[in-house]
Every structure is written in structure tokens, then in C-alpha cells.
């Protein structure tokens, strides 16, 4: 895969007391965002803490029932950032990477993609990953280490798909449509590439 083209828990964070706009959990049940990526759950038993965790392809954010809409939006952003920071610290070893590839194949490709080996490599600086279908081998660039898990999963699925479809034709992309974070992951990687190409500004001169 050229360089150019999930469970975590954020713990509990104390929240300040809610403002004047209060809502009950009964009147506003748990709901998903427009992208179905984030679900906010309000609880009357939760007083001053906010927590978040991954549940499949969704992120669940737990907040006190009396929080206002504005506070909800702010705390969802805070907890998403915390989860991302935690995920960035986790680095899978080769064995964990291979096990993850097997799980992803089972979840999205009905187990049809069966890699013989999956490992990190340090000699891929222009590609995020590569696959040799004849050998059943998948290699991921070490530059992915520390990126969000959904991005690593996307690259794994991209290479797993090549075990089933060698090229990048319509059939290949139809396979990847099964992964709901394909576009988000591609956007993330494109952003990394764009940032690498930005000119480095000179350091500010001290007076």
C-alpha cells in the first residue's frame, strides 16, 4: 500500500458541575452521532465524571445526565482525544499483529484472507504496507507504529484484501467497503503524507 494514497478505555475524568441547561436520561436516551461513530450515554447515577471506551466500531462516551448540550460536545471532544492518545502509545508486536490480521479477516472477509506471515519492517519508507500473495506474506511499515488502531487495521485489511484480489480494481475496493473506517483512515494517512511535505519553518529568533 503506497504511502501516498479496536478496544480502548479513556478512564474517568472529573467533570465540572453542569450549567443551567439540564436534561434527564429518560427524556434523552443514548443516541449515536450522525456518523454512528460516537454514542453518548447519559446516566442519572453519574455525578461528576466522564469516561469513554471503544465498542467495536463505535466510541461510547458516558456523561452525567444533567450536562448541557454544549458541555456534552466539549467533553466528547476531550475524551476522543484521550482515547486517541492512549492508542498512540500502544505498539503491537509481530505476534499480536498476526493475530489481529486473522481477527480482521474473520470479521470483514469471512476468514477468506489467510496470511502465512504478518510482520513489521523498517525498510518501507514510501509504502504503508505490502503483500506478496504467492507467499501469503504481509509487511507493515514501522512508521505506522503509534498511529491510531483504526489506521493500522485499515492498512492490515488493505493488504489482506490483496490476498484475495491482487490489483486495485473495483472488486478490491468493494472488499474494503466492509470496513466502516476506510475513508477516515485514508484521510488520516493522506494528512500524514501532506504534513511530511510541508516546508520546515525556521526557528524563531531570540531577541
Distance CA 48, CA 57 (A): 27
**DSSP, residue by residue, 143-185:** GGTTS-HHHHHHHHHHHHHHHH-SS-SHHHHHHHTTSTTHHHH
Which tens digits make up the pLDDT trace of 63-106? 999 899 999 988 888 888 788 777 666 677 899 999 999 999 99
pLDDT classification of 11: cutoffs 50, 70, 90 = low
Distance CA 151, CA 165 (A): 21
Pick from 198, 94, 201, 71: which is nearest to 145 by CA? Answer: 94
Q: What are phi and psi of 175, to 5 degrees?
A: -60, -45
Distance of CA 20 to CAs 16, 23, 42, Å? 13, 10, 16
Is 50 exceeded by the pLDDT of residue 31? Answer: no
Output the CA angle 122-126-128, nearest 5 degrees.
70
pLDDT classification of 207: cutoffs 50, 70, 90 = very low
Distance CA 4, CA 87 (A): 23
Distance CA 172, CA 191 (A): 23
pLDDT classification of 3: cutoffs 50, 70, 90 = low
Give me the mean pLDDT over the 162-178 stretch: 94
Report pLDDT for 28.
Answer: 36
Q: What are phi and psi of 35, to 5 degrees?
A: -95, 0
Is 70 exceeded by the pLDDT of residue 202? Answer: no
- Would you say 11 and 51 are in contact if contact means Cβ atoms under 8 Å apart? yes
3-state SS, residue 109 = coil
Amino acid at each position: 500500500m503506497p504511502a501516498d494514497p479496536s478496544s480502548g478505555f479513556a478512564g474517568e475524568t472529573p467533570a465540572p458541575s453542569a450549567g443551567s441547561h439540564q436534561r434527564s436520561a429518560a427524556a434523552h436516551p443514548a443516541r449515536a452521532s450522525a456518523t454512528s461513530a460516537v454514542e453518548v450515554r447519559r446516566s442519572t447515577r453519574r455525578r461528576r465524571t466522564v469516561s469513554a471506551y471503544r465498542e467495536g466500531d463505535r466510541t461510547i462516551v458516558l456523561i452525567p445526565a444533567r450536562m448541557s448540550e454544549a458541555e456534552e460536545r466539549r467533553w466528547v471532544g476531550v475524551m476522543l482525544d484521550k482515547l486517541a492518545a492512549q492508542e498512540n502509545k500502544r505498539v503491537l508486536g509481530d505476534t499480536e499483529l498476526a493475530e489481529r490480521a486473522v481477527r480482521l479477516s474473520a470479521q470483514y472477509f469471512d476468514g477468506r484472507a489467510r496470511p502465512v506471515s504478518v510482520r513489521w519492517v523498517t525498510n518501507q519508507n514510501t509504502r504503508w504496507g505490502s503483500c506478496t500473495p504467492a507467499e501469503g506474506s504481509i509487511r507493515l511499515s514501522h512508521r505506522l507504529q503509534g498511529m491510531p488502531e483504526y489506521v493500522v487495521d485499515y492498512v492490515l485489511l488493505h493488504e489482506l484484501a490483496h490476498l484475495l484480489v491482487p490489483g486495485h480494481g473495483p472488486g478490491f475496493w468493494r472488499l474494503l467497503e466492509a470496513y466502516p473506517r476506510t475513508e477516515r483512515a485514508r484521510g488520516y494517512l493522506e494528512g500524514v503524507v501532506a504534513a511530511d511535505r510541508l516546508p520546515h519553518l525556521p526557528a524563531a529568533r531570540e531577541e
